[in-house]
Amino acid sequence: MAYVAVKGGEAAIEQSLKLLDEVYQSNGRLEVQTILTDMPLLTDKVMSEAGMYAPEYAALALKQSKGSVEEAVFLLRAYRSTLKRDYYSLPADCKDMRIMRRISAAFKDIPGEQILGASFDYAHRLLDFSLSEEKGKQAAVTAAQETAADIYCGRVDELLQADGILKQPEKDDTQPYDITTHVLTFPAPRSARLQTMARSEAGFLEGVAYSAMRGYGAVHPTVSELRSGYVDIMIPYPLEAGEAICIGAVNVTEVEALWPVHEETKEEFDKIRLSGGYGCVIGNNETKAIAMSIADASLNTTGNTPSQDEEFVLTHGDCLEMQGFISHLKLPHYVTFQSKLDRVRE
Amino acid sequence: MIDQKHYNFAFLDENSKREIRRSLLKAVAIPGYQVPFGSRELPIGRGWGTGGIQITLSVIGKEDVLKVIDQGSDDSVNAVNIKKFVSACTGVEITTDSEAASIIQTRHRIPEIPLKKEQILVLQVPTPEPLRIVEPREAVTKKMHAEGEYSPMWLTLYEDLLRCGKIGISAEYPVLVENRYIMNPSPIPRYDTPKLNDSDCLYLFGAGREKKIYAIPPHTRVMPLEFDDIPFETENFTGKRCHLCGAEGVYLDELTDEETGAKYYECSDTGYCAKRREQGCRP
């Protein structure tokens, strides 16, 4: 195909789109519902990076994108732009989470107990060949599942707060910065930092966190608590001031990580306290949530590594932006290349 | 047209479009200043012209006539794709004639025929920050603009001169707007840079991924950065002409004859070239 035939761009695109359907032909058996039930971690990743909580649409996007995560994220983000924003929700406290899983690496035992939940953590990663023989089946709901009580419990850091050894973040009740309608400025408000990292591409954020742990940075924290489950989302009730109504629940993973920091005092020696890094992401994305808490903590330290540079971390992790800018190199550049040739040939 | 049950006219919701138009007004009021805006995601790749498209979608009305070019070409895959999208969500008339268009969206070129006062040229911008070549941090470049502290930029040009005997910037040559802001004109060739100065039309620049909008209103003074004794140079096409219409003194694409290996040239601005041939111009 001539890239920019004098005529033919239009026909070429049409053929390319046709070919896309032909090369990646669907046998029509993969239903959106199947993606939703069988690939929940994948839909979670897509929702997390899209910054849009809509499991069915995430599954639909994955089907449409033939399994390409970046394409699915792309579809959701683009769709999101067409929606009118009617209201902002009230702040939701993950303390009120309906818990599916909750662990602390900081203590052997915690009030409310360690709840391992569903996790690959202690699975032996052996390829299970019996799955290739598996035929369709109905998901069974046991009586125990139906009657089990919901689990709620306080946070682990409450223990440490009671001890007075946890550095308290400054109380901040300013309206959160909305990164979807405003451009980041630096230094970024903390709400902007957390939003940006929550939408960040998982691999990028994990790379940032990994580098901070390995030595390009200074943070190797203890996971005080990792919890995942459902949090109710409330909005102000339009007809009654002061009232709120619940519009549904979102599945999130929240992490609090702790590491010691020096605090200057008027006395001879600095005081050492525990400070926190915070991560909270849509869906079951545990590595990303932990990475976010490390990156958050790392950005609170000073130094010259990438993980300590707020602008670096916050401007290079957006799935759409990195995918878009890298792939734009496939667009024709012959006018500017001609200009380069002019400079080189002279 | 894409289904109007699920999608608004010009894709974005009305509030988003209004917000972008406000940013445009501010940009026009402060020529060359980069106005941050809440860039929305589009169904087209971020980095593939989404800043320009958002501007086009925000200003376009049903009566508008749209032309889209990439590298000067109406038929480039990217231009076709953008045209297809805007047309699908607005239904506006599409043209390849730069003189018939009320809005022209472009990537990397300004049309050959000077634009008139009722026309808008929307340029797609990959890197809105001209100072990015000397300073990676946004927090710092913002301050440099505020203080008019452009010495690192001048120094870079001077170092280029010392090292290579010429300024090495090819396309995307930085300009000074109304003696105040240094501005990135987007990756247009140097040949197109002088067209920005004292023009009749309105230039709007959109960087979707970088979330910036800026503008050059009509009759604004826009000068390429140059030293008194080292004049700004455009690309040199001396002795070359379009093999289709015979045009000289225009920006040319370089092509190679597959059989003989000989180089030949044709107008980068395909609409201009077609018009000339209609008028009977031949090589």
Q: Is residue A240 part of a domain?
A: yes
User: Residue B1: which residues within 8 A CB-CB, separation 6 or more?
Assistant: B88, B89, B91
Q: Which chain A residues are Cβ-neighbours of B253 within 8 angstroms?
A: 334-335, 338
The CATH number fitting domain B14-133+160-224, selected from 3.40.50.11310, 3.40.1450.10, 3.90.420.10, 3.30.43.10:
3.40.50.11310
- Catalytic option among B89, B208, B245, B271: B245
User: Residue B31: which residues within 8 A CB-CB, separation 6 or more?
Assistant: B177, B178, B180, B181, B214, B215, B216, B217, B220
The fraction of chain B above a pLDDT of 70, given in percent, is 100
Q: Any idea where the domains of chain B sit in the sequence? A: 14-133+160-224, 236-283
Stronger pLDDT, B152 or B1, i.e. the higher one: B152
- Residue A198 structural domain: 94-117+142-170+179-315
In three-state form (DSSP H/G/I as H, E/B as E, the rest C), the secondary structure along A58-69 is HHHHHHHCCCCH
Which pLDDT value is given to residue A7?
Answer: 55
What's phi and psi for B142, nearest 5 deg? -60, -40
Looking at the structure, tell me whether residues A162 and A308 fall in a common domain.
yes
- Tell me: ipTM over 0.95: no
Give B123-180 pLDDT, tens digit per residue. 999 999 999 989 989 999 999 999 999 999 999 999 989 988 888 899 999 999 999 9
Looking at the structure, tell me whether residues A188 and A289 fall in a common domain.
yes
Looking at the structure, tell me whether residues A54 and A153 fall in a common domain.
no
Q: Is residue A342 part of a domain?
A: no
> Residue A258 above 50 pLDDT?
yes
Q: Is residue A71 part of a domain?
A: yes
Looking at the structure, tell me whether residues A165 and A284 fall in a common domain.
yes
Of B48, B72, B168, the CB nearest to A331: B48
Which pLDDT value is given to residue A3?
Answer: 45
Q: Is residue A335 part of a domain?
A: no
Give B166-218 pLDDT, tens digit per residue. 888 999 999 999 999 999 999 999 999 999 999 999 999 999 999 999 999 99
Q: Which chain A residues are Cβ-neighbours of B187 within 8 angstroms?
A: 335-336
Q: What is the pTM assigned to this prediction?
A: 0.85
Q: How many CB atoms lie within 10 A of CB A314?
A: 22
Q: Which helix (H) or strand (E) holds B153?
A: helix B151-164
Candidates B46, B85, B125: best to mutate against A (most CBs of A within 10 A) is: B46
Q: How many domains does chain A have?
A: 2
Amino acid, res. A28: G
Q: Is residue A87 part of a domain?
A: no
Q: Is residue A269 part of a domain?
A: yes
